[in-house]
Structure formats: structure tokens, C-alpha cells
């Protein structure tokens, strides 16, 4: 994820793109003004979690890094996903132990987002077996990074989610999702 989702794609340094995991068609998402921005954690799709509303997936993802309720609440109340991310970075010395190595909670955030917004679920299913790539030049872990060779963990997480959700609002088991963090 990056702080500038409005970046003009022509300004991005052109480098080799990471190849999709197979010869499947590819959907790249990142920019607010391009299709599939809704797949980004910066999209304006609020998430209800533990009786509280988070403005975006990024707000919830960043808040879940912290055990301290005050830190989590300060992040939840930020005015934008960029501000929520900046606040979490400012508080990075208080992130829960093991966060960096485990990168916990992304699957949970996506499950909540896509089950609470039927339009997003439908859009995800409409991608079929397409490879999903977060084309973020800013983030080589969740996206492609500046050189286009990043790990694309957000795209992979969306593909995992697509494989476990049921289409058309069918129920799924949410028992594996922890709500006590």
C-alpha cells in the first residue's frame, strides 16, 4: 500500500513486471482512477469489527497491529487510510510482538471487507481465475514495489479469499476468524 493512490501511472518508473504465477490473465489494481481500486485497502469500504466501524481496510489492518486499545482507537479515528498508516508507523515501537514476521490479520481484514460488501464479493468473483496483482510501486511486500518484482502478498491474499468465499451471498464459516485481537 502506498500513500499516493492517485499517482499518475506514467510517473511510475518503468521496470520489469513480476510475471504472474502462471499464464493466467492478470488484473493489476492500485490507482484510485483505474479499475479494481476497490481491491485496495485504501478503498472507501467501511468495515464493522468488534462493534466498531473502520473507514477502510487499511484503518482496520493498521489498528490490528497493536494490543493497546488507545493506539488502535487513535488509528481507527484517522481521517484517511494514508493517515492511519502514518499513525501506525509513528507508533511502530509499540507494535505487538511477532507482527513483522507473521504479517497477521490481512486475510481477516479482507474476509470482513468482502463479506460485508456484496458488490465487492461480486466483483471479486467476476475476476474468475485471473491473477490479481497490487501494482503498488511503494510496497514490495504487499505490492509489486518500484522495480515490479515485489511479493504481491495482497494479490495472493485476494486470490485465497476468492477460493474460499461462496458466490452470491452464500454463507461461509467465519469460525477461523478471531475477533478478540
Q: What is the pLDDT of residues 57-80, one digit of tens each?
A: 999 999 999 999 999 999 999 999
Reduced to 3 states (helix: H, G, I; strand: E, B; else coil), residue 48 is strand
Cell of 133: 496483482
Please report the pLDDT score of residue 23 as a whole number: 81
d(CA 120, CA 124): 6
Question: Which residues are bridge partners to 106 per DSSP?
Answer: none
- Give the position of cell 476497490: 38
Q: How far apart are the first and last CA of the chain?
A: 22
Please report the pLDDT score of residue 73 as a whole number: 98
- Give the phi and the psi of residue 48 in degrees, each rounded to 5: -95, 125
Reduced to 3 states (helix: H, G, I; strand: E, B; else coil), residue 129 is coil
Beta strands in the chain (DSSP E): 26-29, 47-49, 52-54, 131-134
CA angle 47–51–52, rounded 5-degree value: 50
Structural domains of the chain, with CATH: 26-169 (1.10.357.40)
List of the chain residues with pLDDT < 50: 1-4, 6-21, 170-181
Amino acid at each position: 500500500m502506498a500513500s499516493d493512490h492517485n499517482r499518475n501511472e506514467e510517473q511510475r518508473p518503468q521496470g520489469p513486471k513480476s510475471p504472474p504465477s502462471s499464464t493466467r490473465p492478470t488484473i493489476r489494481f492500485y490507482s484510485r482512477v483505474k479499475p479494481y481500486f476497490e481491491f485496495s485497502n485504501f478503498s472507501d469500504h467501511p468495515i464493522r469489527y468488534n462493534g466498531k466501524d473502520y473507514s477502510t481496510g487499511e484503518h482496520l489492518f493498521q489498528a490490528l497491529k497493536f494490543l493497546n486499545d488507545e493506539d488502535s482507537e487513535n488509528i481507527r479515528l484517522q481521517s484517511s487510510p494514508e493517515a492511519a498508516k502514518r499513525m501506525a508507523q509513528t507508533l511502530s515501537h509499540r507494535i505487538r510482538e511477532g507482527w513483522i514476521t507473521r504479517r497477521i490479520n490481512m486475510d481477516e481484514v479482507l474476509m470482513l471487507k468482502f463479506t460485508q460488501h456484496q458488490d465487492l464479493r461480486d466483483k471479486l468473483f467476476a475476476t474468475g481465475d485471473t491473477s490479481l496483482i497490487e501494482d503498488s510501486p511503494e510496497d514490495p511486500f504487499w505490492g509489486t514495489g518500484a522495480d515490479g518484482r515485489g511479493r504481491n502478498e495482497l494479490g495472493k491474499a485476494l486470490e485465497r479469499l476468492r477460493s474460499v468465499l461462496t458466490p452470491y451471498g452464500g454463507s461461509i464459516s467465519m469460525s477461523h476468524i478471531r475477533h478478540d485481537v
